[in-house]
Amino acid sequence: MMFVLPTHGLASLTYLTNQHVIMGMDEEPLFGQIELFVCMPSSNDWCIVVSCLQTVDFSAHYHSHRVNYPKVHKVVTFDGLVDFHVVCCYRKVLANSTQYFVRLPHHVVQTH
């Protein structure tokens, strides 16, 4: 048996499904879209099931990272997030092609 929630609160933040988070930092940030929250009865730790986004490049014009949705899912812990704040993902149609961008409202530095 597993507990599943569409929203989850942590400290003063409330996370919702379809919001986006920063899961890691390599050469480019690693983003994920929140699908749901799960907790196994054997632990009190809640985890996030995310759809992993593939970072394509950085667009200086839009001040955003262009991303793709490759349909890969991953389970991450809240402690595993690079930043606890959600980020904005938006869609633009450019040259008859739908593209997705994630904008960081602040500079993120990985500390662990």
Dump pLDDT digits (tens) for 66-112.
999 988 999 999 988 988 889 999 999 989 999 999 998 765 555 55
Where in the chain are the domains? Answer: 3-103
Type of residue found at 9: G
Closest by Cα among 51, 45, 37 to 7:
37
pLDDT score for 4: 81
**Which architecture does CATH list for 3-103?**
Roll (2.30)
| pTM (2 d.p.) | 0.85
How many Cβ atoms from other residues are within 10 Å of residue 50's Cβ? Answer: 23
pLDDT score for 111: 52
* Angle of CA points 85, 86, 87, to nearest 5°: 120
pLDDT score for 48: 93
